[in-house]
Structure 1
Amino acid sequence: MPILSYLLHGRASGSGNEPSPTVQEELAAQWYNPTDIASILLIIGGDVVQKAFAQGTGKPYVPVVVNLDTGYARESKSFVVDRLLRDLEAREARRLASEDRDYSLKITVFEATGTRNGPTRFSWTYLHLVGALITLAQLGIAAIPLALKGDWSVFLITAVETAFVQWCGCLPEWTSEKLPSRQKSDALYALSSGNCAREIMIIIGCGKCLDLESLAAPHPSRASRPWEKFSWLSRSRPDDPEEIDLEGKPRKPDLKKRRPGLQPQREAIVWNVWPFGGVPLGFALTRMTHAVLSVLWLSLLVNVAALREFRDSWCFLAVGGLRMFQNAWLAAKELGPAMRNLPLKKKGQFVAPKVMDGLMDFHTIYSRGLPLLEEFFPGPLLEAEAK
């Protein structure tokens, strides 16, 4: 309640001889040049910014901005898998005919077709274009007081915030979390929200699928594995001293015995400089960046607090409003699987009035229904069902 706090503060600080302003006068002053705008700009908090940031990272430019005091938030471990399932379910629900929507189980089968991107690269999409246009609009609005009155405070804050966000967004940490080390899996994945789910998304790897199991439970950033796919953050792994032949000579690793889809054996470059010694270089970059940005954000907040009243608050509110719209839109946006480096081709769909019927139909065609049977029917089956 910024207006109520402003009124109470104004009545308490007034002297006994000065007439107290009327409610109409205080409301008119607030709407003419709003105060306490920080509370207004924090309507959308860090949880929305986290989701928007997780959606947009992966390229040198990040189509997201961060309001003052919201800070940064890390991506959840299963964010990519959760959003992949959510977006596939939403897309298939819209495509289903109205007469087929009364079902107990729907199984949709996809086949991975492979991506042209490398193990550490995403494609440029319309999200980046929209983000760039909104960012330019924000800077343009913030420059209005500078052009008309020479007041550079709003433009400085907007430009500095934008620079801080882009600095943090271009870290390789986010790509390491959103893309697994195994890029060409031939496994079969079943995505669902649990035992009572009405939707099951089957993805057949065909040697062209991201390892969704690794995305659901990834290796920690302190380990070497997430950084092995970056050529500039890893190096060729030396031969294992135990891999020697009978004559004592080093034996070349048998690549045929390795799991399909794995990258050539590499290990992360370790940073041995205090105070981040003993951790992979990529993770050290993340820690150093956050340490520096924490100090810079604090310095910016101190400077903003010094400006108790912006002479052009409406410009600052307009910039903040665009930020809130951009973050909310990006956080809720449905993305196609190709935008997550996982292009899929639909192979078939089973819509059944009963769960058991759907599992039987799927197993009849693909012979892979037993794991789903154990998930949805963990107990003993009826005699007819078993037959």
Structure 2
Amino acid sequence: MPPFRNVNLSPRAVDTTTATAATAASEQFTTQWNNPSDVFSVLLILGGDVIGRALAQVAGTRVPFLPFSFGWVAYSVSTVVSAVGENRLMPVADFPCKVINGRTGHVRDNASWIIGRMVRDFAYWGNRSGNREGNREGNRGLCRNTPDASGQNIIQQRMSDLLDEKWKQLREATEKGDPEPPRPTQAGLCVSVYEADAASKSPRLRGPLAWIGVATAVVQLGVAAAPWARYGDWSVFFVTAMGTFLAFLTTRLPQWAKEKWSCRDRVKKTVVLTKGNGSQHAIVIISHGDGLDLEDLASGSLGDVDSPSRLTRASTCVLAVAWIMLLVAAAGIKEHTWFLLGVGGLGMAENLFEAGKRREPESYGIPLRFREVIAQTSVMSTLYEVEDKYPRLGWSMLPTFFPGMLREDEMKRWDEYEKRFAKK
């Protein structure tokens, strides 16, 4: 019988290297979440597009203020490129639409931030109920439509009736035995007519949220002061205060207002704002000598007077350097960084709100008074009615909504309109 072999039954040795690595990883996560280092400096270079849009919204107003937040460093550098290379600060329109001259029919693609946002937000300000319908002698209200007995305004009620009329036509055209068509979501063309009041190239933001940027900055400074008061660490407050100051200087550049309202004013002109062929709505704005030249504004071109001056270009370069220096300073903060992240988060939330907030035309210095709404179940019928009430206006819209060939009866009717207009 062979002898028994000696078997080592002692406990298995623990790999100390693996245990040390696991402990180190755990400590790294714990340390990072207790005091996130270098995160704020990285976040400062993200979100520059949000800052640009928020600035375009508030720039040139009487309270042009945005709080310190993430994204300012990236935006400041891109501003230098825009001012020096592209010769402008204001971004182009972020919502495509067309502007039609109500007399000549000339159509141009919009490049104005203001007009793009007006068309984008029409569902908001065009459908807001008011106290009464505007008129040139009495009410000076803004974009106000007369509510009916149900509480809906004129545009809402007319659109509801229009869809019902179209639905009825579809059901009547349905053959027996076929399923009933659903209620349409779009029908014909709805033309809302407004008159322009006295325009302003330095409008005042109205409403309870007009000062939200200033209020946010005050809260940010309060949050940043907490580690100073409790631990004696003033670094977070210093970065926040300097960021707020630099943001204030950026929004106060006079160039913003020059570019935002680079157009003539006090003109007599009628223009049509629309998304183009296939759109449900067209906005007619009639200026009797009080409003801005929206056709001029839509071009987005800057004259020699409105182009950035040498001082503006130098200012953007100095501000960009200052923002980069602030980024370097923020990267050195290792303690109480959650307070700094809280400050940046508050500012970013407010700037996101400003960038996407829907506004009435008055906030852009274009106060309007509602006049009437014209809508039929077919686009051509709507244009006929517009032409009957406002000679040459329906004709100017015709090529946009009917770029192809017209039927013989349609051509005959428009020829009659042309002869009628020529006699005047």
Answer yes or no: same fold by TM over 0.5: yes
1:37-83 alpha-carbon deviations (Å, 9 max, x no partner): 23774696122111100111114642313425332453224111101
SS at match of 1:290: helix
Q: Give the partner amino acid of 1:76.
A: P
Consecutive unaligned residues of structure 1, counting only runs of 5 or more, are 1-14, 227-279
SS at match of 1:187: strand
Does residue 301 of structure 1 match 2:385?
no
Write the distance in 2 (CA, Å) between the matches of 1:326 and 1:334: 14
The size of the alignment, in residue pairs, is 313
Write the distance in 2 (CA, Å) between the matches of 1:351 and 1:124: 32
Tell me by how many angstroms 1:30 deviates: 3.7
Does residue 57 of structure 1 match 2:65?
no
Counterpart of 2:215 in structure 1 is: 133
Q: 1:283 aligns with which of 291, 309, 314?
A: 309
Task: Report if the CA contact (8 A) 1:184-1:211 is conserved.
Answer: yes
Write the distance in 2 (CA, Å) between the matches of 1:198 and 1:99: 14
Tell me by how many angstroms 1:132 deviates: 0.9
Tell me by how many angstroms 1:33 deviates: 2.6
Q: 1:317 aligns with which of 326, 336, 341?
A: 341
Counterpart of 1:292 in structure 2 is: 318
Write the distance in 2 (CA, Å) between the matches of 1:314 and 1:158: 13
Q: 1:189 aligns with which of 238, 260, 271?
A: 271
SS at match of 1:204: strand
Q: Give the partner amino acid of 2:406.
A: L
Tell me by how many angstroms 1:298 deviates: 1.9
Tell me by how many angstroms 1:141 deviates: 0.5
SS at match of 1:369: helix
Counterpart of 2:47 in structure 1 is: 45
Q: Output aligned runs, 1:153-302, within 5 Å.
A: 153-220=235-302, 223-224=304-305, 226=306, 283-302=309-328
Write the distance in 2 (CA, Å) between the matches of 1:328 and 1:44: 13
Tell me by how many angstroms 1:364 deviates: 1.5
Q: 2:118 aligns with which of 84, 108, 111?
A: 84
Q: Output aligned runs, 1:95-134, within 5 Å.
A: 96-97=156-157, 98-101=160-163, 102-115=186-199, 117=200, 120-126=201-207, 127-134=209-216
Tell me by how many angstroms 1:313 deviates: 1.8
Write the distance in 2 (CA, Å) between the matches of 1:186 and 1:357: 27
Write the distance in 1 (CA, Å) between the matches of 2:73 and 2:197: 42
Among the aligned pairs, what percent are the same residue? 32
Task: Report if the CA contact (8 A) 1:49-1:327 is conserved.
Answer: yes
Task: Report if the CA contact (8 A) 1:189-1:203 is conserved.
Answer: yes
Tell me by how many angstroms 1:343 deviates: 0.6
Counterpart of 2:224 in structure 1 is: 142
1:168-193 alpha-carbon deviations (Å, 9 max, x no partner): 21111010012234111111010011
Q: Give the partner amino acid of 1:363.
A: E
Task: Report if the CA contact (8 A) 2:59-2:251 is conserved.
Answer: yes
Task: Report if the CA contact (8 A) 2:387-2:395 is conserved.
Answer: yes
Tell me by how many angstroms 1:131 deviates: 1.1
SS at match of 2:284: strand
Counterpart of 1:243 in structure 2 is: none
Consecutive unaligned residues of structure 2, counting only runs of 5 or more, are 1-16, 80-88, 93-111, 129-152, 164-185, 414-424
Q: Give the partner amino acid of 1:303.
A: A
Cα 1:124–1:376, aligned 2, differ >3 Å: closer, same or farther? closer
Counterpart of 1:379 in structure 2 is: 404
Which has the greater radius of gyration?
2
Counterpart of 2:380 in structure 1 is: 356
Write the distance in 2 (CA, Å) between the matches of 1:295 and 1:80: 30
